Structure 1
Amino acid sequence: MDETLDSVIVGGGHNSLACAVHLASKGWKVGVLERGSQPGGAVKTGEYTLPGFRHDWAAMNLSLFAGSAFHKEYGAELSRHGLKFAPASDCFASVFSDGTWLGVSNDLELTAGRIGAMSAEDAETWRSLSAEFPARAECLFGLLGSPAKKRAFAYILIKEWRRNGTGGLLDVIRFLLSSPRDWLNETFVSPKVRALLGAWGMHLDFAPDISGGALFPYLEGMANQAFGMVLGDGGADTLVKAMVASIEEKGGSVVSNAEVTRVIVENGEARGVELADGRRFMARRAVIANVAPKALLKLTGETGNDRYERGMTTSAHAPGTMMIHLAMSGLPDWRAGEELKNFAYVHLAPDLDQMARTYAQAQAGLLPDEPIIVCGQPTAVDPSRAPEGKHVLWLQVRMAPGTISGDSAGEIGVTDWSTAAEPFAERALDILEHYAPGTRAKILGRHIVTPAMLEADNPNLVGGDQICGSHHLTQHFLFRPVRGFADGTTPVRNLFHTGAAVWPGAGTGAGPGYLLAQKLAG
């Protein structure tokens, strides 16, 4: 028997859940259908190594969610349903080949003092950037939080023009077009300060020389300095559990093991969806798909708009990521200093040239000879994730090709992930061991998640791309995913698109889901 709802949402990622929370709050009867065994998409937590050791599958940093417009409206309600954050005052650091390190804590003078040891000029620059951040953030966060409409963007830019004049507006536009290297080279003297911030670009497909990438190292540096970082207390899935509870309290449903195979389209209008087991969920008001661009066309078939279909078919994905989850007897003994044990993230990305080389190798299908390692130390912030006295490490190995064509180092002779996983993971652990001798001896259990495994678990992560599509300028702002459809609309009436593939893109801020829900229900 068919079930009829106001809205059916395909995919149970955090954008879907945020969308459902808002729609349900506006009186819509909502159903979320998730093909996997649990909702959350890339935001989930499990005991992947040993009992009692809780690992975040992919996303770990919840700062964007904590600072989002969605959380501002629903935070109190979600807290009632169990959402709880674990704040980190020592946010992120980088270690360097000469045995030194540099890190950002949310104590301004502490951070500036560390930078001053590298460059007194850069320390003063950091203080100036921090002082200017509140005014500059109004414009930048305004853009990133706006609906993807020319009028909305124009309103914010005109506001900036009125405040700072033509020169100030042009400076903002130039900054938005700059590559990380452009901005870092003209802003800082020390290569180590540049590397510290440049590593953040690699989280979002912005190698040092990619235009449009300066924004993200800047925002991460300044936001962490101003507000610190937050993780999920007990795991990132705290936000998923709270949103599911909110939806169910409002009469909605979140159904797992429910694979949608077809969007039912009649006379150019989406009417519902059909599942692999034959069940059908009909929608009175909207069918919403949180899927990768190519996957949407598989669900709908022809849409009647050739330009839209061509754009969705050719949508480019970022290089993949390998995850390594480690159960540990203790945190790494960082050669650069014990204080590094306090940081949520430690980047093993010593200079911009290495980042650029690694990215180019992965884009060419090659296993990088020196991949970038993002070493998350969540139990330094939240000890509840491991048995007493024990720890977990969350390693992102960036970048990794979704399809392997060769090995940059000429050492790994296989090209399928099932056999390349172990030797490539050993390469990553060799790098970690170099910066923190004795780490291997502390490993109690490990679980490797290859790009192929990430995609098998969640088809939105094509080739292990954790951001559901490149954020380069040709696929961002009004062009995400296709010009004219960045607001979640599609050529099919009552069919809408959400998730990281849609403006404002990836991250835990739930912007795509919340903006779409506001568009539909006010």
Structure 2
Amino acid sequence: MTQNPDAIIIGAGHNSLACACHLASRGWKVAVYEQNAEPGGAVKTGEYTLPGFRHDWAAMNLSLFAGSSFHRQHGTELAKHGLAFAPTANPFASLFPDGRWLGVSNDAALTTARIRGFSEADAREWTRLTESFPADAEAIFAVLGSPMNMRALGTLAGKTLWRRGTAGSLDLARFLTMSPRAWLDQTFESDHVKATLAAWGMHLDFAPDIAGGAVFPYLEAMAGQAFGMVLGQGGASTITSAMVAMIEARGGSVHCGTAVSSIEHIAGRAIGITLSDGKVVRAEKAVIANVSPRGLMKLTGGTGDPRHARAMEKFQHAPGTMMIHLAMDRLPNWPAAELKRFAYVHLAPSMDQMARTYAQALAGLLPDEPVIVCGQPTVVDPSRAPDGKHILWLQVRMAPGQIKGDATGTIDARNWQDAAEPFAERALDILERYAPGTRKNIIGQHVVTPQMFEADNPNLVGGDQVCGSHHLHQHFMNRPARGYADGTTPIRNLYHTGAAVWPGGGTGAGPGTLLARKLAGN
């Protein structure tokens, strides 16, 4: 007789796999079920344009994974299964319409000198932030890595008060609630410096005026200078393939192309799942669902708690993202040759423009000037393209999941099938404006619309790559709902994980790791 697994995990995104790896390392027998033909969710790599050109489907930056507690604990074992990183000392830069640029590198003196070119006062402030970063980062990462329950928060508050005092603790709390614009305006005077940092907020649904968003530009800037950036050798899927191999080596299983149609529960207790072919699989200890909040309701048919059900149904998603994968004869002809050394080049000229783009996308409009994140992975890892060739990884932020109109009035389409080409051309026009001649070097192109993202992965509702807004009302103890930020649900033995659960989106695998430790211990 086949033994039932201790834990069944629905979905094979990186949070699911991290959870499964940790449980397997603690002796649990795990079985992961993924509806797609390959694991990874938003963290996968493929030849989407031409043979030999390896593009990351969505996530490219693996710095959070490389620095995560999960990797610190299991990195040695994962390396034996092929995990390999490609680090860079030049993580990101911003290029501006006036031809000036600012880059953050893993060299404090160099980065400070670049900032001094914009403002002497800002260079002094940058030095102050650099000097205080180790102590401040320890406190911030303690919050972002803590379980969201009263016991853990009480312990954390006590430690923070002891280390930082009352005034320092209140300053930290104030900073965690600030918008990017409020913090940047109070810290720097150069609009170029402000825009360079504010662009990072757009990666995680924090336009300049959204409360609670200041921490992300701060951390990306300071961590980028302190540690550089980490990509996956050969593609972001290196973390996915290594975790799958670890699971299987420890006796677990990952079943791709196997959709789950329902979660079975009796008398308020989860007992297993039913697959789309009608097969029932029982779980001895836990059913873990890495799904969107509304997806959880669909699979369970309801959790029996009206407040939880309402929170799941009303869970708010961020605007979507369009991806443009380009196979290139050569890199863009940037106005400064140094920009060809950076993993990311942001084309986001001002905080006002970013705020306008965000407001337009929220209103269902195709933005007139979306933020462009130009990833240059072959600068860091030449193995991703044939000799002498390159790839570009373009994130077009923001884009509405449902199109109601066009901010310029020139695109008539109201569905992504028809809007994809003209909107992609708008993004490429922006790139061409900053780096003339780029278009003639494109030898392959593949556009991924918000609709395509959701079709590939139902967790990415409307193309929302972080599975839910991280605004304060839906973060910390409220992610995804008050009382359920630890991954529990009203149904016993049923647990919720993934980017919709605290601590949210990104490649750090925090939700999966925290849940696994809750279930099986550290």
Using structure 2 for the length normalisation, give the TM-score.
0.99
Partner of residue 303, structure 2: 303
Residue 446 of structure 1 and its aligned partner are, at CA, apart by 0.2
Aligned partner letter, 1:475: Q
Residue 155 of structure 1 and its aligned partner are, at CA, apart by 2.1
Residue 266 of structure 1 and its aligned partner are, at CA, apart by 1.1
Matched position secondary structure for 2:283: strand
Partner of residue 141, structure 1: 141
Partner of residue 510, structure 1: 509
Matched position secondary structure for 1:118: coil
Contact 1:139/1:156 (8 A) holds in 2: no
CA distances 1:484-509 after superposition (whole Å, capped 9, x unpaired):
00000000010000000000000000
Aligned partner letter, 1:355: M
Alignment of 1:104-123 (within 5 A): 104-123=104-123
Name the CA distance, whole Å, in 2 between partners of 1:486 and 1:289: 14
Aligned partner letter, 1:164: R
**Structure 2 residue 212 is matched with structure 1 residue 212:** yes
Name the CA distance, whole Å, in 2 between partners of 1:281 and 1:58: 31
Alignment of 1:188-227 (within 5 A): 188-227=188-227
Aligned partner letter, 1:454: F
Gaps of 5+ in 2: none
Gaps of 5+ in 1: none
**Structure 2 residue 449 is matched with structure 1 residue 450:** yes
Residue 150 of structure 1 and its aligned partner are, at CA, apart by 2.2
- Cα distance change of structure 1 residues 2 and 274 upon mapping to structure 2, 3 Å threshold: farther
Aligned partner letter, 1:266: I
Matched position secondary structure for 2:117: helix
**Structure 2 residue 38 is matched with structure 1 residue 66:** no
Name the CA distance, whole Å, in 2 between partners of 1:258 and 1:2: 18
Aligned partner letter, 1:331: L
Partner of residue 28, structure 2: 28
Name the CA distance, whole Å, in 2 between partners of 1:476 and 1:22: 25
% same residue: 67
Aligned partner letter, 2:183: W
Alignment of 1:412-451 (within 5 A): 412-451=411-450
Residue 357 of structure 1 and its aligned partner are, at CA, apart by 0.1
Name the CA distance, whole Å, in 1 between partners of 2:172 and 2:225: 21
Name the CA distance, whole Å, in 1 between partners of 2:483 and 2:206: 24
Partner of residue 476, structure 2: 477
Partner of residue 177, structure 2: 177
Over aligned residue pairs, what C-alpha RMSD do you find? 0.9
Name the CA distance, whole Å, in 1 between partners of 2:250 and 2:12: 17
Alignment of 1:338-377 (within 5 A): 338-377=337-376
Name the CA distance, whole Å, in 2 between partners of 1:436 and 1:454: 28
Contact 1:2/1:281 (8 A) holds in 2: no
Residue 2 of structure 1 and its aligned partner are, at CA, apart by 7.9
Residue 350 of structure 1 and its aligned partner are, at CA, apart by 0.7
Name the CA distance, whole Å, in 2 between partners of 1:157 and 1:206: 26
Contact 1:43/1:58 (8 A) holds in 2: yes
Partner of residue 12, structure 2: 12
Alignment of 1:490-501 (within 5 A): 490-501=489-500
Partner of residue 270, structure 2: 270
Name the CA distance, whole Å, in 2 between partners of 1:168 and 1:112: 26
Aligned partner letter, 2:411: I
Name the CA distance, whole Å, in 1 between partners of 2:2 and 2:442: 50
Aligned partner letter, 1:495: L
Greater mean alpha carbon deviation, residues 123-132 or residues 149-158: 149-158
**Structure 2 residue 31 is matched with structure 1 residue 37:** no
Name the CA distance, whole Å, in 2 between partners of 1:18 and 1:369: 39
Name the CA distance, whole Å, in 2 between partners of 1:4 and 1:163: 47
Aligned partner letter, 1:182: A
Partner of residue 124, structure 1: 124
Name the CA distance, whole Å, in 1 between partners of 2:261 and 2:240: 24
Residue 301 of structure 1 and its aligned partner are, at CA, apart by 1.0
Name the CA distance, whole Å, in 1 between partners of 2:57 and 2:331: 19
Matched position secondary structure for 1:284: coil
Partner of residue 160, structure 1: 160
Name the CA distance, whole Å, in 2 between partners of 1:158 and 1:116: 39
Name the CA distance, whole Å, in 2 between partners of 1:76 and 1:65: 14
CA distances 1:313-363 after superposition (whole Å, capped 9, x unpaired):
00000000000000000000112x010000000000010000000000000
Matched position secondary structure for 1:438: coil
Partner of residue 233, structure 1: 233
Contact 1:322/1:398 (8 A) holds in 2: yes
Name the CA distance, whole Å, in 2 between partners of 1:521 and 1:155: 21
Residue 478 of structure 1 and its aligned partner are, at CA, apart by 0.1
Residue 156 of structure 1 and its aligned partner are, at CA, apart by 2.0
Partner of residue 256, structure 1: 256
Matched position secondary structure for 2:127: helix
Alignment of 1:32-111 (within 5 A): 32-111=32-111
Residue 124 of structure 1 and its aligned partner are, at CA, apart by 1.4
Name the CA distance, whole Å, in 2 between partners of 1:150 and 1:128: 34
Name the CA distance, whole Å, in 2 between partners of 1:129 and 1:64: 21
Residue 220 of structure 1 and its aligned partner are, at CA, apart by 0.4
CA distances 1:433-488 after superposition (whole Å, capped 9, x unpaired):
00000000000000000000000000000000000000000000000000000000
Residue 71 of structure 1 and its aligned partner are, at CA, apart by 0.2
